[in-house]
């Protein structure tokens, strides 16, 4: 495991991930562009779920490059990266199951979002998350579900709108699991020093 931690803590690896996540974040906000144009201003921060999750991780990586930790961003990142990473994989698999077809972009989204979910957990030994950080992340995450499924601001998957109530239910419990993941990997597990 020390070899893995060494690779993850390598400045070149962190810089590469920083660039990849920054580009992915920008593309993600672009992807949400059509929906953001129709979104009331009060909900704008809560609509682009995945790019906001990767933006949190961009800040985590920036802090690493600056040889520090920003615990609140680490908590927000691990919870939302796991949640929206797994959510997008499940939604694309459900699209494939429902329609019998998934365009190449769907497979690309599944791969990139699975990577999102994994990277938050991989870097968790270097996090310095406090309980209050996780509480804020939990409130953000559950509040986001309320905005999505009570105020109808969820991501648009036209082939799946018939399952919206069930997707909302699944998403809520995925949020709870993601908060637990944030606790287990971000607070409970052992920590390692990050020296660049």
Packed helices 164-183 and 71-99: angle between N→C axes, nearest 10 degrees: 150
What is the chain's alpha carbon radius of gyration, rounded to the nearest angstrom?
17
**φ/ψ of residue 162, rounded to 5:** -65, -20
Residue 194 has a pLDDT of 60
Could you give the C-alpha distances from 67 to 14, 48, 131, 158, in angstroms and in order?
Answer: 11, 29, 22, 44
User: What is residue 1's predicted lDDT score, i.e. its pLDDT?
Assistant: 59
Boundaries of every domain in the chain = 2-188
pTM score over 0.75: yes
pLDDT of residue 155: 77
- 70 touches 61 (CB < 8 A): no
**Which of 84, 90, 82 lies closest to 120 in space, CA to CA?**
82
Q: How far from 26 is each of 32, 74, 155, CA to CA, in Å?
A: 10, 20, 17
Per-residue pLDDT of the chain (196 residues; tens, 9 = 90+): 578 888 999 999 999 999 999 999 999 999 888 888 898 999 999 999 999 999 999 999 999 999 999 999 999 999 999 999 999 999 999 989 888 888 998 899 999 999 999 999 999 999 999 999 999 999 999 999 999 999 988 877 666 777 888 999 999 999 999 999 999 999 876 665 565 5
Per-residue pLDDT, 5: 81
pLDDT of residue 150: 92
Structure tokens at 177: 């699991």
Task: Supply the angle between the helices 164-183 and 131-150 in degrees, to the nearest 10.
Answer: 180
């Amino acid at each position: 495991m020390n070899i893995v931690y060494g690779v993850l803590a390598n400045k070149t690896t962190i810089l590469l991930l920083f660039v990849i996540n920054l580009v992915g974040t920008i593309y993600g906000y672009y992807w949400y562009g059509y929906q953001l144009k129709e979104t009331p201003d009060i909900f704008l921060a809560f609509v682009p779920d995945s790019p906001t999750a990767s933006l949190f991780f961009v800040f985590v990586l920036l802090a690493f490059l600056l040889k520090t930790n920003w615990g609140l961003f680490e908590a927000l990142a691990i919870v939302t990266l796991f949640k929206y990473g797994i959510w997008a994989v499940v939604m694309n698999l459900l699209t494939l199951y429902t329609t019998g077809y998934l365009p190449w972009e769907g497979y690309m989204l599944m791969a990139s979002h699975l990577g999102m979910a994994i990277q938050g957990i991989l870097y968790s030994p270097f996090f310095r998350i406090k309980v209050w950080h996780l509480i804020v992340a939990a409130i953000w995450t559950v509040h986001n579900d309320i905005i999505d499924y009570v105020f109808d601001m969820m991501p648009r998957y036209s082939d799946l709108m018939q399952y919206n109530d069930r997707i909302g239910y699944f998403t809520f419990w995925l949020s709870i699991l993601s908060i637990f993941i944030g606790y287990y990997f971000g607070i409970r597990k052992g920590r390692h020093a990050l020296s660049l």
